[in-house]
Structure 1
Amino acid sequence: MSQTDRKIGFIGLGIMGKPAAKNLVEADYELLVNDVRDDPVEELEAHGAEARATPREVAADSDVVITFLPEGKHVRQVALGEDGIIEGIDAGQVCIDMSTIGPRAIREVAEEFEAAGVEIIDAPVSGSEEGSKDAWMSIMIGGDEETVEDHRELFEVMGGNVVRVGGTGAGQVAKVCNNMIAAAEMTSLAEALVFAEKAGIDQGNLVDAISGGAAQTWALDTRAEDMIAGEFEPGFFASYMYKDLRIATRDGEEYGVPQLITSTNHELYKSLEEQGRGDLDFAGIMTLYEDLAGLD
């Protein structure tokens, strides 16, 4: 069976999942989709996919099932709950979870699936909505090496940097590390921009001055201009970063890892969430720093 002859089930059509699903349709995969919301399902149907009413039906009619969901509780419900994947999937099939839920959570789901003869690959992603649309996001993979290679073409349709990190859960470990670094970049940039404003320096001139130097980061390249303009249209929700930092601090405690920076960033994003700003891009942490500094 060629890669595109496989029927692909795709559950979760959110800010990252929907464009990834569209890329699979455009690559001539037969796609069966499901989401709790009608609008993205209808949009994918108009794009050439077919809809199924439940995760169980998606699994029963697919050769491979992909989930792309917000949190661990959603993955557990879709995978193991009533009308879930496990009720429709056959032994010998593969489920690929592209959500960010942490290594402990995916290993718990994998244990249930393996008991039913189903193999799971964890493949969380890093990249904005634009990265998902343009298929250049990074995909960090945990799973059996042979199984991962058998599905590599599928991953490469959705992402530009596809790396198997190790066995089950390794992709989640890599994603947690990725977001620890991304959060540190973003809060440091927000802090520096507020410092510049309070010190009477034009923020745009600051960015021009430090670009290309030791302070060059992904955050500086992709978010500084919008942060200065006060524009925080979400490419990655602040509430998602808060969720991911909860995973990082929880698992860091379990592993005995010192997390002085990550724990502080967790508290900053918690405060942003509690102020009702979780629907901003995670660069919206700038607004919290401005409040703390007494800036309008």
Structure 2
Amino acid sequence: MKTIGFIGAGVMGKSMAHNLLKAGFALNVYTRTKEKAADLLEEGAHWKESAAELAKESDIIMTIVGYPSDVEEVYLGEGGILANAKAGSFVIDMTTSSPKLAEAIFEKANKAGIHAYDAPVSGGDIGARNAALTIMAGGDEANFDYILPALQAMGKNIVLQGGAGAGQHTKMCNQIAIAAGMMGVCEAILYAEKAGLDPKTVLKSIEAGAAGSWSLSNLAPRMIDGNFEPGFYVKHFIKDMKIAIESAETMQVPVPGLKLAKELYDRFSQAGGDDKGTQALYQYYEMMMSKAE
């Protein structure tokens, strides 16, 4: 088993790292706050004091951090991964980030003899816990089999979409579909409640029909129960939508549904919703209804 270095122990990252340990991989970890990695260290992971130290002592380096600026810092900075990883090692950024940045990392890694992949994920906290994530990869096909066992420890639907940046472009497609869909889920649940129906009973009918979606089956029940804890943060979803809009505009692709969803999430963010789960958009709809009444 190769030694994996893992950077990022957030809502999803911690579960992903746990599943790598469960699969038998030797694991080095680094996070800005060591306390966030305490559970992983108890399970047998090895703490490293910096991204540079982790990179030097790992065969495969995985990252899942917050924003493109974090990705740029951890990969391209003087004390970053590419300046310290061994030639022949593999780097996999699983953050949802900019396709252009993924291409830049690939090019710099290639010059150093390092194999780089962008591999953002979908499935939220549930998919991360259950090792059932969808993993969308971009990079060279020739070496993909080397990292596949590690990806299989975290996900079930793993597809190499194309060259560098293809994983990030695919994740943008995913987020575009979710953004408009989330508005529909919120509106359907509110409509059911206003019509005097039991929304949980309504779900039994509509989630099995043409309206069915992951968000409807997994996030609508949380809306109904008043559970707005983050499986995926509002602030990170806004970041993703911003990247998707910028990429779409570069390609001259119209995305009015995406822009409307971002506008609603921006308003919810301004009302204090940044650190809630994406399903909390439901609360913004409730706020709009209260004002209308």
Which bracket does the TM-score occupy, shorter chain normalised? Answer: over 0.9
Q: C-alpha displacement at 1:174, in angstroms?
A: 0.8
- Cα pair 1:194 1:293 within 8 Å, conserved: no
* Structure 2 gap ranges (5+): none
| Amino acid across the alignment from 2:70 | H
User: Which whole-Å CA distance do the structure 2 matches of 1:211 and 1:10 have between them?
Assistant: 36
User: Which whole-Å CA distance do the structure 2 matches of 1:145 and 1:221 have between them?
Assistant: 34
Q: C-alpha displacement at 1:111, in angstroms?
A: 2.3
Residue 130 of structure 1 corresponds to 126
User: Which whole-Å CA distance do the structure 1 matches of 2:29 and 2:193 have between them?
Assistant: 47
1:222 aligns with 2:218: yes
Q: C-alpha displacement at 1:214, in angstroms?
A: 1.7
Residue 52 of structure 1 corresponds to 48
User: Which whole-Å CA distance do the structure 2 matches of 1:141 and 1:169 have between them?
Assistant: 8
SS of the aligned residue for 1:85 comes to: coil
- How has the CA–CA distance of structure 1 residues 27 and 201 changed in structure 2, closer, same or farther, with 3 Å as cutoff? closer
Q: C-alpha displacement at 1:260, in angstroms?
A: 1.0
1:279 aligns with 2:275: yes
Alignment size in residue pairs: 292
Identity across the alignment (%): 37
- How has the CA–CA distance of structure 1 residues 44 and 211 changed in structure 2, closer, same or farther, with 3 Å as cutoff? closer
Residue 145 of structure 2 corresponds to 149
Q: C-alpha displacement at 1:275, in angstroms?
A: 1.2
User: Which whole-Å CA distance do the structure 2 matches of 1:203 and 1:61 have between them?
Assistant: 52
Q: Give 1:267's match in structure 2, choosing from 257, 263, 269.
A: 263
TM-score (norm 2): 0.95
- How has the CA–CA distance of structure 1 residues 42 and 206 changed in structure 2, closer, same or farther, with 3 Å as cutoff? closer
1:93 aligns with 2:89: yes
User: Which whole-Å CA distance do the structure 1 matches of 2:28 and 2:208 have between them?
Assistant: 45
* Structure 1 gap ranges (5+): none
Q: Give 1:10's match in structure 2, choosing from 6, 12, 18.
A: 6
1:77 aligns with 2:73: yes
Deviates more, 1:228-237 or 1:252-261: 228-237
Residue 34 of structure 1 corresponds to 30
Q: Give 2:21's match in structure 1, choosing from 8, 16, 25.
A: 25
Deviates more, 1:171-180 or 1:185-194: 185-194
- Give runs of ≥4 in structure 1 deviating > 4 Å: none
1:289 aligns with 2:285: yes
Residue 158 of structure 1 corresponds to 154
Q: C-alpha displacement at 1:273, in angstroms?
A: 1.3
User: Which whole-Å CA distance do the structure 1 matches of 2:177 and 2:4 have between them?
Assistant: 33
Q: C-alpha displacement at 1:13, in angstroms?
A: 1.2
User: Which whole-Å CA distance do the structure 1 matches of 2:234 and 2:101 have between them?
Assistant: 21
| Amino acid across the alignment from 2:47 | A
- Cα pair 1:102 1:176 within 8 Å, conserved: no
